[in-house]
Amino acid sequence: MRKFFSLIGKMLAGLVTFFQVAILLLFIVIGVVALSGQQRVVPDSGALVLSPAGRLTEQLDGNTLDRVFSAYQGVADTQALVRNVIESLQRAASDDRIEAVVLDLNGFAGGSMAQLQRVGAAIDDFKESGKPVIASGNGFTQGQYYLAARADEIYMHDLGSVFIEGFSYYRAFLKDAIDNLAIDVNVFRVGEYKSFVEPYLRNDMSDDDKSAAADWLDALWLAYRIDVESARELAPGALDVYVDTSGELLAAADGNTAVLAFQAGLVDELVSHQQFEDYMIGLVGESVDAPGFYEGIHYLSYLSATSPAKVSDSDASIAVLVASGNIVDGVAPPGTVGGESLADLVLRATTDESIAGVVLQVDSPGGSMFASEVIFDQIEYLQASGKPFVVSMSGVAASGGYSISMLADEIWAQDTTITGSIGVGAVVPTFQRSLAKLGINVNGFGTTKLAGQFDPTRELGPDAKRLLRLSVDSAYDIFVSKVADTRGMSYERADSLARGRVWIGSTAYELGLVDKIGSLDDAVASAAALAGLKEDGYKVRHLGMELTPAEQFILRLAGGMMKISAALNLPHSEPSALDQAARMIEAQVQQMSVWNDPRSLYLNCDCSVR
């Protein structure tokens, strides 16, 4: 009987593998067909189609196949590199073949406020060329509309809507679930604002976390509102009115969300798909290969078919390294910051004689303290070489993300960067009560008083708790002392800015936690100046970020899948309410999977915004 069921199991496993391979091959065939219709040569006259699929990111994560599956299923889990979007706009501005930019945002899933502002600034820079920017969408979510607002004209389908709701900060609190599962989560922290441990201790948000989060969350919404109202020439406060009185405004528009957006001045015209195609044909011409459609080229195809507008002849370069994602111990794929992985990149930049300076772009909420220290040590070695080291903070550079930044000769942040969260926490779960419910009892003895006190199948011992408490206190003291030393302030001053509190970039600048407000380009230019290089006397090298041809193919394949799902009217961009709830819980649980610090000490900020 066992052999029979074993045979059945093997047959089922084989069938599953067969269907997985078959489906993957089908996806690839569909993707090749989709991509074959994309222009591989820049047309003599046409539009640059800026249609980023998924969320903006500073670094593509390592799971490229998931992007293809997600795109085919219409789930906006694909990613768009910020630098690709910006670079395509920069090249197109001086390219006479590109007559306009079309913001096709149907598959776009947003990004951090800092990332949106960088792309928005690049759109503004493109408009200085005198070429028009046209936005088109079936409707616009909040992130989509931020970019659309920068366009000269916004066209939306007459059944669409502009959905803007403001920013929110919600997390799944797991205390009751942990109690029901009879798990003991032992938490040690320094800093009343160090809130990443709260979901394991509480069923709601603490007052300290609420008060601190209100400051930076309100600052994000203010920045969004000001930017959009300015771009659309709306009256100050118009977006607040649109959001807060949406029910009354929609009733006055007879329930028609498209008319509401038009009446509020958020869109310029309501059109069908073909009406928009006809308008663009009149603007840039009709496609030679696809009659009835305007002539255009996808921004990724455009990048692959063109060269940078300006490349220095100098051998000197400024290296740009990216620290994106949670910081973990050891080696990690892109999208996660491995302590050893990033330290190796820093070492490469240090020993490469053609590299005159280094910029570290940080987009990380932190993580392992040990991994952060490994990176910190390697940065010290870099600075000892005499090469300037500059940090550019993206959407978030908090806790461990701040720790790996603070040695910089200059720290650049954006007004809407989320930073700070200088504090330490330790989380050690034990499962003796859950095992007891299953009738499993652990018993035995050790050779010393401490032996077995850290065993997760037993209650955390008193000596173990004391060791962890002392370690956390010491780790906090080390963190704050380094902040004081690197930022040139007293320990007391650094401590008053720490305690785990999160700061928005503009406030962090006023407090002395960052040096300057500006973009990645500003940070690169500053590093070059510190290295004594002239404005046109260096190249920019992205270490560890170059995509292989296979990765570029998969990225374009994911974009093709997103276009197919949209054409077939498959659901996309916004997950269902149930999906959102499941993802919130999954994200909280998955957070524990990256906790691999050898001492269980974490510099982490749970400061995600929706």
- State how far the Cα of 17 lies from the Cα of 572, in Å rounded to an integer: 27
3-state SS, residue 169: coil
DSSP state of 593: G
Find out whether 336 and 401 touch, Cβ atoms under 8 Å: no
Q: 534 catalytic, yes or no?
A: no
Residue 198: DSSP 8-state? G
Select from 370, 590, 399 the least CA-distant residue to 500.
Answer: 399
- Given the residues 287, 399, 403, 405, select the one marked as catalytic: 399
Two structure tokens written together for 174: 């797991």
User: Do 136 and 294 meet the contact criterion of CB atoms below 8 Å apart?
Assistant: no
- Angle at the Cα of 527 from the Cα atoms of 525 and 528, rounded to 5 degrees: 65
Which of 225, 190, 196, 192 has the alpha carbon at shortest distance from 211? Answer: 192
Which amino acid, 597? D
- Give the separation between CA 325 and CA 330, rounded to whole angstroms: 14
Q: SS3 for 340?
A: helix
| 399 in active site | yes
**Contacts (Cβ under 8 Å, ≥6 apart) of 179:** none
The catalytic position among 51, 70, 136, 194 is 194
CB 609 within 8 A of CB 167: yes
Question: For residue 339, what are the contacts with CB-CB under 8 A and spacing of at least 6?
Answer: 327, 328, 329, 330, 368, 370, 371, 372, 373, 374, 375
Burial of 265 (0-12, 13-18, 19+ CB in 10 A): middle
Which are the catalytic amino acids?
194, 399
